[in-house]
């Protein structure tokens, strides 16, 4: 007899994991729960989309936890602990809980404590790059007492998961330290390229970047950075706030990381205001920069 999975948070990542795991050997079915399902305005369409993916839509946390052998948490960074706390009230003892969220080592350790008290085996995951290009094969680092065993299970489902430590917080420290660099590059590129465009010197700036870092296609990389922040800036800002918490937990003042969070959040605000309407992942970076310049 196979295992039933429960996915908590059926957004971009949850949807990719749900669709990718649904027909893997050893999985009987997948229940999904997302706060959007209870939204009076958008709930019906969100539930219908999940059902079209083959998910069994749960009516709340109790429903998604009811018969799950493995719970996968794929929510926003700011909800990491709250979801673990609620799941602890409903999950059966012996259930495993895989936390995909981009949260600090301290937040993950707190989540583990509350679930352990309910008899649930907690495993943290550091998702090491953007999920969409890889699907369920996205590289993940696992941590916790059950990390080795769960990594073997996930590998059997075609996933790229590797245990790095029995100590909780190690995988998250790797992930969050990397995120500071990646999300920081995004913020720097957006600020640098838009400023250069405003002064009409973008050709010269890109030429000097190409000379210094010839392996990078700066226009293409710039377009990708702009599009990802426009699409996911709110989520990235939350992740950077957790990264700032990671820096504080290490004993340092997160001066740079806090600024990255602010920049990501600012771009997200522009997106919500409709500044980038009509642009997509195929748009050039100049199109995004022009919208920002025109909005000032």
Residue by residue, what is the 3-state secondary structure of 135-174?
A: HHHCCEEEECCCHHHHHHHHHHCCCCEEEEECCCCHHHHH
Phi, psi of 164 (to 5 degrees): -115, -25
pLDDT digits (tens, 9 = 90+) for 79-100: 999 999 999 999 999 999 999 9
pTM over 0.85: yes
- Six token digits for residue 209: 């970047």
Strand order in the sheet with 161-165: 56-57, 27-33, 3-8, 70-73, 96-99, 121-127, 140-143, 161-165
Q: Which residue has the higher pLDDT, 26 or 291?
A: 291
pLDDT at 1: 62
pLDDT at 169: 96
Residue 76, pLDDT > 80, answer: yes
Q: For the chain, which domains are there?
A: 3-167 (3.40.50.720), 172-295 (1.10.1040.10)
Gap between the Cα atoms of 202 and 286, Å rounded: 9
Residue 199 is inside which H or E element, if any? helix 170-199
CB 164 within 8 A of CB 174: yes
Residue 162, pLDDT > 70, answer: yes
Gap between the Cα atoms of 104 and 264, Å rounded: 18
CB 18 within 8 A of CB 41: no
Going by pLDDT thresholds of 50, 70 and 90, the confidence category of residue 2 is: confident
Residue 46, pLDDT > 80, answer: yes
């Amino acid at each position: 007899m196979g295992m039933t999975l429960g996915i908590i948070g059926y957004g971009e990542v949850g949807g990719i994991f749900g669709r990718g795991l649904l027909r893997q050997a050893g999985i009987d079915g997948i229940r999904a729960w997302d706060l959007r399902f209870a939204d009076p305005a958008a709930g019906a369409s969100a539930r219908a989309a999940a059902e079209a993916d083959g998910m069994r839509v749960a009516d709340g946390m109790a429903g998604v936890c009811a018969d799950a052998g493995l719970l996968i948490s794929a929510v926003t960074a700011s909800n990491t602990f709250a979801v673990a706390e609620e799941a602890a009230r409903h999950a059966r003892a012996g259930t495993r809980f895989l936390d995909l969220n981009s949260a600090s080592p301290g937040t993950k350790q707190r989540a583990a404590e509350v679930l352990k008290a309910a008899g649930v085996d907690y495993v943290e995951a550091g998702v090491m790059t953007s999920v969409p290009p890889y699907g369920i094969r996205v590289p993940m680092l696992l941590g916790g007492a059950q990390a080795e065993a769960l990594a073997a299970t996930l590998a059997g489902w075609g996933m790229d998961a590797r245990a790095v430590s029995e100590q909780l917080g190690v995988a998250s420290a790797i992930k969050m330290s990397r995120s500071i660099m990646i999300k920081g590059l995004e913020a720097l590129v957006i600020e640098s390229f838009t400023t250069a465009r405003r002064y009409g010197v973008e050709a010269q700036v890109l030429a000097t970047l190409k000379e210094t870092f010839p392996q990078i296609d700066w226009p293409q990389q710039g377009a990708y950075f702009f599009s990802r922040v426009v699409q996911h800036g709110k989520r990235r800002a939350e992740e950077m706030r957790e990264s700032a918490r990671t820096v504080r937990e290490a004993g340092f003042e997160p001066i740079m990381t806090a600024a990255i969070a602010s920049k990501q959040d600012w771009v997200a605000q522009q997106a919500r205001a409709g500044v980038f309407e009509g642009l997509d992942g195929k748009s050039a970076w100049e199109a995004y920069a022009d919208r920002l310049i025109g909005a000032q």
